[in-house]
Structures are given as structure tokens and as C-alpha cells.
Structure 1
Amino acid sequence: MKFYTFAKSVAYSILKPLYRIEAIGTENFPKEGGVLLCSNHINNFDPPVVGIMIPRTVYFMAKEELFAVPILGDIIRRCNAFPVKRGMSDRDALRKGLSVLKDGHILGIFPEGTRSKTGELGKGLAGVGFFALRSNAQVVPCAVIGPYKAFRKLKVVYGKPMQMDELRKAKASPEEVTDLIMAEIQKLITEYR
């Protein structure tokens, strides 16, 4: 955890002034318990930007290829990221993600599975709905809004936690839940753009 805290403070001191990051809705963020943090994905800096603005530790799923990059792979692993194989059902990543949530931590995930080329919100993958339904975690939608341009304002908006109890009781499908989460992210983007 010491490395995470150090890396977070370094990232904060560089990224916050560089992109004039404005965090909105941090008061919505649960102080404890498992949280599935779901954000749109517009830039490679999204994980640190989303993670540095809240006081708790975030465990991000990251594409497997990043862990093979010298130095970067070691840094992100030490920052609690874990690999996921894209384009297939990765049981190890699903198990690890559920374990993070069941242990009362924050699992950070980008439901689109890849960065948006246009900046518009894409379709979410069913794995997000799987995590929401199979854990007792609260789901917090998040939107990163603005250009990643030096000294231009970038907004990170955290929405109110979405309650999943009724959807779990109704036996909603992972796809249905993913669509609801994506709709909440889109609302944040539309409201704060």
C-alpha cells in the first residue's frame, strides 16, 4: 500500500494542475464497503485521473498487454492493477474482481473495454453487469469529461451509487444491468459536458 500511496500523491501533484482537474460528486462516494466504479474511457490517463480524486484505494482491471511493458508493468501491478484478457471470458480476472469487491475494496472498470476513438460513450460489456449482480457492491457511475489538454479544465464526475438489490431479486441479466450503468454514465456526461 505504501507504493500505491506514493504513486497516487505523485500522480495527483502532476495531473491535477496540468489538466486543472475538477472533481464533482466526491461526496457521493461510499466511505466503506465494496464499490464497483464504472467510468467512460477517453484517454490512457483515465485510471490515475479517476483514482486520485477519491480518498480510497482503487484496484483497476487493465489489459493484459500492459503488464508485459518493461517498468510500466511493474508500476501498475504495484498500484493494485490486475490483468484481464480482452475479447474472451477471462475467469481469473472475473474471480479476482469479485474477490476485490467481496473484500470491501473498490474495483475500477471501464465498461467499454477500450478507449473511445470519438470521445462518445460506446457500448458496455456484459462483464460489468456480472460484477454488479454477483457482488453486494454499490455501483458508482463516473464520467471523465473534457479534452486532455494542458491547462484546460478536465472534469471527473462521480454519480450517486446505484442500488442493485431490486435488479438482483428480479434476476436481471448482466447485459440489462450493463445498459443501465452505461445510461447513468451518459447522463453524467450530458449534464456536466
Structure 2
Amino acid sequence: MTFYSFAKFIVSVILKPLYRINVIGEENIPKEGPVLLCSNHIDNLDPPVVGITSPRTVHFMAKEEVFHVPVLKTILPKLHAFPVKRGMSDREALRTAIKVLKEGNLLGLFPEGTRSKTGELQKGLAGAGFFALRTDAVVVPCAIIGPYKAFQPLKVVYGKPIDFAEYRKEKVSAEEATLIIMNSIKELLEKNK
């Protein structure tokens, strides 16, 4: 058993009953090939919740600050997380993310870049659109519908994959591509409230 599988099992045992997690649409995540999984961001627990509900290993881009926390800096790389410097163009993080997708893996992103204080969906950053356009990945939108309250149901909804092949041909901008992704997350949130 890998460290990732072990951690996923332990975290599932704790979080699934605590938040009565209800997963919808996990069959929408392709079993193989590059996938860019884009979710709204309402809580610090979003990454582990996506990690335990996705049938595939999720490689997360995480804010650099968490890699300075003593225990986390050892554990996070084993969980396939890699750092990104927020608020600036981090070329190393961009290269790592593209490499993850080019190797046919699943990359998990929170396009808003930070947690929403209100729970409302915020504007997405261009990075999500950039990765969708620069690789052959399909985009799977995800909606986490809270609140994170003990023993109250929490929904994780995975939408149908979006093929960006046409958008790549049309040469849409990274901002436009991100808007397409954010609109699909918004739709999932509205349909599954």
C-alpha cells in the first residue's frame, strides 16, 4: 500500500462519517488520461475531501506557505502536492503542473486561488484556463456544497468532462477558458443546492 492510499484510507474513515459526504458523478472522472479537476473553494478541508472522493490520485498545487509547516513539508510531497507562490507568476509551479498533465495524471486546482469567505463562487484566475489550453487534458468541474458542520451532509459533485479541443483550435484566451470552467462549476452549484 502506498503512503497516498494509506493516507486516503485514514482521512476517509475520519471525514466521510463526520461530514456525511455524499459523492455525485464520480463516474464523470475519466479512468485514464490527463484530467484537470477544477473545484470551488470554501474550506481548508476541500483538498482532502476532493482527494478522498476522487477515484484517481489527485496531484494538488498548494500555496507555498503550507510547505513551511514542519509536519506538512514532509507529508505533502508524498501526497503528490507541490508548491505555488501566490500572487506572482511561478514558472516552476507552472512547469510542474504541465508535466503532471502531460504524464497523463489528474491535477486538482481551485481556480479561485483562495477560499471564498462568503461561500459564494469568486472569479477564477487565468491559470486554470492556461492549463486547459496548454495540455490535452479534459476539464472536470467539481462543486463542493457545504457547510462543513459535523454530521450535516456535505455534497461533492463531479460534472461531465469538458473537452477543450475546440477552444484550443479557436485560440480562446486563458481568461475565456477560465470563464468556461467557472460557469460549469456555477451550474453544478446551482443544480445541486
Check whether TM > 0.5: yes
Residue 12 of structure 1 corresponds to 12
After the TM superposition, which residues 74-93 of structure 1 pair with which residues of structure 2 at under 5 Å, given as runs?
A: 74-93=74-93
Residue 122 of structure 1 corresponds to 122
Q: Which amino acid aligns with 2:36?
A: L
Shift of 1:73: 2.1
Deviates most, 19-28 or 73-82: 73-82
Shift of 1:183: 0.3
* Rounded Cα–Cα distance in structure 2 between residues aligned with 1:163 and 1:80: 25
Shift of 1:159: 0.2
* Rounded Cα–Cα distance in structure 1 between residues aligned with 2:67 and 2:145: 27
* Rounded Cα–Cα distance in structure 1 between residues aligned with 2:28 and 2:38: 14
After the TM superposition, which residues 92-131 of structure 1 pair with which residues of structure 2 at under 5 Å, given as runs?
A: 92-131=92-131
Where 2:180 maps in the other structure, the secondary structure is helix
After the TM superposition, which residues 19-168 of structure 1 pair with which residues of structure 2 at under 5 Å, given as runs?
A: 19-168=19-168
Q: Deviations over 1:115-168 (max 9, x none)?
A: 000000000000110000000001000000010000000000000000101100
After the TM superposition, which residues 153-192 of structure 1 pair with which residues of structure 2 at under 5 Å, given as runs?
A: 153-192=153-192
Query: Does structure 1 retain, via aligned residues, the 8 Å contact 2:101–2:137?
Result: yes
Q: Deviations over 1:10-60 (max 9, x none)?
A: 111110000000000011110100000000000000001011112210000
| Root mean square deviation, CA, Å | 0.8
* Rounded Cα–Cα distance in structure 1 between residues aligned with 2:55 and 2:123: 29
Query: Does structure 1 retain, via aligned residues, the 8 Å contact 2:142–2:157?
Result: yes
Q: Which amino acid aligns with 1:185?
A: I
Shift of 1:78: 1.2
Deviates most, 86-95 or 46-55: 46-55
Query: Does structure 1 retain, via aligned residues, the 8 Å contact 2:26–2:55?
Result: no
* Rounded Cα–Cα distance in structure 1 between residues aligned with 2:58 and 2:155: 19
* Rounded Cα–Cα distance in structure 2 between residues aligned with 1:107 and 1:28: 15
* Rounded Cα–Cα distance in structure 2 between residues aligned with 1:30 and 1:55: 9
Matched residues, number? 193
Where 1:44 maps in the other structure, the secondary structure is coil
**If the length of structure 1 is used for normalisation, what is the TM-score?**
0.98
Percentage identity across aligned positions? 67
Q: Where does the alignment leave 5 or more consecutive residues of structure 1 unmatched? A: none
Shift of 1:77: 1.8
